[in-house]
Amino acid sequence: MNHRPPIFWSWLLRIVLHSSEEQYVEGDLEETFHELIQAYGHRKAANWYRSQVIRSVPLLLFRSSIWGIVMGKNYLIIALRNLKKSLGFASINITGLAVGLACTLMIGLFAVDELSYDRHHENADQIVRLIRTSRFSGTEESSPVTAGPFGPMFTSGFPELENFFRLQKRRSGVDVEAGEKTWTEMSFYDADASILDILSIRMTSPSDGNALTLAYHLMLSEQTARRMFGGIDPTGDVVRVQGKDYVIDGVFEDFPETSHFKPDVLASFETLIQERPNQISHMGNNFFYTYFLLAPNALAQDAQAKFNGAIEATAGPEVAALIDFSLQPLTDIHLTSHYNYELEANGSVEALLVLGIIALFILTLAVVNFVNLSTARSAARAREVGVRKAVGAHRQQIVTQFLGETLLLSTFALLVSIVLVDMASPVFEQLSGRHLGLKLLYTWPVLLGLAGFTLLVGLAAGLYPAAVLSKYRPATVLKGGSVRASDSGSPLFRKGLVVFQFSVSMILIIGTLMVNNQLEYLQSRPLGFDSEQVLVTRLRTPAMKNTGRSIMDQFEQVSGVSGITASSSLLGNGAGGVLFIPEGVERGEEGLAMATLHVDTDFLSVLDVELVAGRDFSEDRLADMDDAYIINRQAAEQMGWGVADAVGKSLIWPTSLDGSTPNAREGTIVGVVEDFHFTSLHKLVEPLVIVPADGMPSYMLTKMTSSDVSSTMVELEEAWSALLPQTAFDSFFLDDHFGNLYTEEERSARMFGVFSLLAVILAGLGLLGLASYTTTRRTREIGIRKVMGATSASIVQMLASEFSILIGVAFVLSVPISYLIMDGWLSNFPYRTEQSFWVFAIAGLLTLALSLLTVGYHSLRAAFSNPISTLHHD
């Protein structure tokens, strides 16, 4: 049971109370809080506590002695009165700055979180990961997956490396049985016992120090243990994994969110050594992630420089020429590592940078607004300044007063922004799909930094109006009752700020539209095959694969199913590459690496892939089993034959390039298909070889042409459970899967959308301020114009055109900038939309409409005002 009052609110209270002798206020609240828990429960009590703090903060702030230092209490009273008098203006100003601060804060917290990946390990700076670079057929491929022997070999060979551990991720979805129940674990790792020494992994149950040293032993994460065994400590219990019994050595504390891999289960590496000794000791089996602990004060480069020599010594110069190793700091993995076969999806520095720039933009917008609005507002107070000066106020005092007011505003804005962050963080987390380190916000350095920053913004915003206004000579101000434009600061400065704001808004709007366009394009581009109503079922276990053929036969009987086939890889996720030797290329020369897809015979017809030359595989499964290949257009062109000549050519799939071992497969190309997207649209279509599958491929594809999909699904499920009663029928649609490939783009689109909306709102607020300023300043001019015969319409036109020019300038500035930015972004995609004219047009028109709407109110009021009321002073 939670007996503590809400953390944020009690923290806020403490901040406001400020001096420790006032702790009795806190105590009073906490006491009543506990009484309320007894009477009404925790929720009600927490709500009460929150409302108490909210309502008490203004009063307590007033009491607090901070103000004695920053400004005299009198100034505070005047400032508060002024705020109260112009509540609308103050709330616009506070909201604007608070929203800007909140955005920046959230992005900042996000950034700090991203940068803190894997830093929680005590030796984080001394841990490195081995990266292998292989060279073959003129291409280079780097990857974190390495062979088993290198860890022990390098550690014993070089003094720079103190220790190592190897890690293997089992293919996703390992079934773990405990008693009667089965859990499917997605992050099941095998690791050397040294992982416990190198990484800072805390054990929650006492261990005898021999954890993970024996074969068929494993450890569970706290969360997994709780899920399987409830609250009971499972140490010493036995679970069954893939038909083998494993002893549980202990429970480790869950890896924090900020880890580049987060295991649920860690099994001992000994298990692998016992099960597959040859694979572990083979230098060409790249299955493992190898991490090293550097010796104290040793440099990674020193060790790195010696790797090649060591390989030459053990495996000969031929191997050494093909392979290269480097070391990657553990703390760099999350943000900068984007190899194939990463353990989990990593973040990106670029995305962080873009977000950072957006944050900076929004913050600048907000601060500019704050300055602009404060200035506009204070110009209307010229008369007050005049009176004050006339009765003897020093310039110094007036400056202090204005500064105090803006400081007060910015302080309120800071408090509001913290509340906003507190409330909006779940939304942000959902938008970004990432974690936000909210706890960090409530630490002293961050809070002090924020307070300092707020002070700075307050001063900056107050300084300009204070300097301008305190300059007024009381005689002129009071006699004229108004200030000449030339006295109230440079209009060019304010106009420049407006142009800047609208340029930023337009760039963000254009960005949003463009990202959405590209997303839509990715999702709607024809894939080259029919992905609709295709149900994918993954046959995970050997048992499922063994029953695969019978399931396919049963499924074919179901009404609404028009065809069924299978493939070795999931379309959209790409396919594994294999080295081929095409006809006309000599043995020992370079082969060509091509993706291979092992499919069932009906693959092309069920998925409606277009055949451009030759024939499909024969209906008879065995006929083409040994020697037929179908390739795609890309492959035909890369091998230099073209579509027409490719049919009939031979293709060898060797096991070794020098021909010393028998070939895996030697066959003829029987057909060529049009390129279709077996990877996501982030990649160009690669050369592909389609091979008839020997056994049962892992992915079963059921094509339906049913008007009632749900009833067909029910029938399929029945057929499935008749054959495989223990396993659930787990399947998804292929087009959904393709949609999910672009979640990263969807996130960017949503983030862009939210932030540009905020930017537009902020820019709108800024314009509102400027419009109100200009129209009040020009009241007399408008009055005189009307007396001289100007119509209301012509006056609206005059005022509106002035702003339209500013928008026009902003448009002209933002178009090339956003074109360049978006061009850079789009060039990441091999398949992309054009930047169309209408995107820019829409952004421009939208901004124009918004600004006219904002300005319109003030212009209309000014235009329809009676000249008598504006001029009667003269």
Partner 1 sequence: MLTRVEEMILLSVWRLQDDAYGASVRNYLTELTGDDWPIASIYTPLDRLTKKGLLRSQTGTPTKIRGGRSKKMYRLTAKGVTVLQKAREVSTALWSHLPDPGVVAR
Asked if 772 and 860 touch (Cβ cutoff 8 Å), the reply is no
The answer for residues whose C-beta is within 8 angstroms of residue 95's C-beta and 6 or more apart is 413, 416, 765
Quick one: which segment of 44-52, 358-366, 378-386, 524-532 binds partner 1 (CB under 8 A)? 44-52
Alpha helices in 179-247 (DSSP H): 195-198, 222-229
**CA–CA separation, 752 and 357 (whole Å):** 12
Please say which residue, 60 or 566, places its beta carbon nearer to partner 1: 60
Neighbours of 19 (CB within 10 A): 9
**Of the residues 18, 42, 50, 52, which one makes contact with partner 1 according to CB under 8 A:** 52
Q: How far is the CB of 94 from partner 1 (least distance, A)?
A: 21
Q: How far is the CB of 32 from partner 1 (least distance, A)?
A: 5
Asked if 606 and 702 touch (Cβ cutoff 8 Å), the reply is no
- Tokens 């009833």 map to which residue? 711
Contacting partner 1 within 244-283 (CB under 8 A): none
Binding flag, residue 484, partner 1 (CB under 8 A)? no
Please say which residue, 30 or 645, places its beta carbon nearer to partner 1: 30
Length of the chain measured in residues: 874
CA nearest neighbour of 429 among 110, 211, 683, 690: 110
Q: How far is the CB of 4 from partner 1 (least distance, A)?
A: 8
* Helix, strand, or coil (residue 375): helix
Quick one: which segment of 46-54, 94-102, 501-509, 576-584 binds partner 1 (CB under 8 A)? 46-54
**CA–CA separation, 351 and 429 (whole Å):** 15
Q: How far is the CB of 37 from partner 1 (least distance, A)?
A: 10
Q: How far is the CB of 51 from partner 1 (least distance, A)?
A: 7
Q: How far is the CB of 368 from partner 1 (least distance, A)?
A: 35
Tell me, residue by residue from 413 to 452, as one string, x for binding to partner 1 by CB under 8 A and - for no binding: ----------------------------------------
* Helix, strand, or coil (residue 146): strand
> CA dihedral defined by 185, 187, 193, 199, rounded to 10 degrees?
-140
Q: Is 664 exposed, middle or buried (0-12, 13-18, 19+ CB in 10 A)?
A: exposed
Q: How far is the CB of 65 from partner 1 (least distance, A)?
A: 12
Q: How far is the CB of 46 from partner 1 (least distance, A)?
A: 14
One-letter amino acid at 293 equals L
Please say which residue, 62 or 864, places its beta carbon nearer to partner 1: 62
**CA–CA separation, 218 and 73 (whole Å):** 66
Asked if 378 and 471 touch (Cβ cutoff 8 Å), the reply is no
Alpha helices in 116-245 (DSSP H): 150-157, 195-198, 222-229
Please say which residue, 77 or 820, places its beta carbon nearer to partner 1: 77
Q: How far is the CB of 25 from partner 1 (least distance, A)?
A: 6
Please say which residue, 13 or 174, places its beta carbon nearer to partner 1: 13
Please say which residue, 56 or 285, places its beta carbon nearer to partner 1: 56
**CA–CA separation, 116 and 95 (whole Å):** 31
Please say which residue, 53 or 466, places its beta carbon nearer to partner 1: 53
**Of the residues 40, 41, 44, 51, which one makes contact with partner 1 according to CB under 8 A:** 51
Quick one: which segment of 47-55, 249-257, 470-478, 509-517 binds partner 1 (CB under 8 A)? 47-55
**CA–CA separation, 742 and 789 (whole Å):** 61
Q: How far is the CB of 53 from partner 1 (least distance, A)?
A: 9
Q: How far is the CB of 29 from partner 1 (least distance, A)?
A: 6
Quick one: which segment of 17-25, 514-522, 819-827, 860-868 binds partner 1 (CB under 8 A)? 17-25
**Of the residues 11, 18, 42, 48, which one makes contact with partner 1 according to CB under 8 A:** 48
Please say which residue, 4 or 338, places its beta carbon nearer to partner 1: 4
- Tokens 């002695």 map to which residue? 65
Please say which residue, 5 or 263, places its beta carbon nearer to partner 1: 5
**CA–CA separation, 117 and 330 (whole Å):** 9
Asked if 475 and 481 touch (Cβ cutoff 8 Å), the reply is no
Q: How far is the CB of 413 from partner 1 (least distance, A)?
A: 21
Neighbours of 656 (CB within 10 A): 13
Please say which residue, 194 or 411, places its beta carbon nearer to partner 1: 411
Number of residues that bind partner 1 (CB under 8 A): 21
Tell me, residue by residue from 53 to 72, as one string, x for binding to partner 1 by CB under 8 A and - for no binding: --xxxxxx--x---------
> CA dihedral defined by 34, 36, 37, 38, rounded to 10 degrees?
90
Angle between helix 743-777 and helix 349-379 axes, rounded to 10 deg: 10
One-letter amino acid at 766 equals G
Please say which residue, 56 or 680, places its beta carbon nearer to partner 1: 56
Q: How far is the CB of 38 from partner 1 (least distance, A)?
A: 10
Q: How far is the CB of 88 from partner 1 (least distance, A)?
A: 25
Residue 670 structure tokens: 């029987």
Contacting partner 1 within 19-38 (CB under 8 A): 23-32, 34
DSSP 8-class letter at 343 = S
CA nearest neighbour of 561 among 659, 700, 673: 700
Asked if 295 and 160 touch (Cβ cutoff 8 Å), the reply is yes
Please say which residue, 12 or 267, places its beta carbon nearer to partner 1: 12
Quick one: which segment of 48-56, 402-410, 597-605, 686-694 binds partner 1 (CB under 8 A)? 48-56
Quick one: which segment of 50-58, 315-323, 387-395, 676-684 binds partner 1 (CB under 8 A)? 50-58
Helix, strand, coil content of the chain in percent (nearest 5)? 55, 15, 30
Point out which residues bind partner 1 (CB under 8 A).
Answer: 23-32, 34, 48, 51-52, 55-60, 63
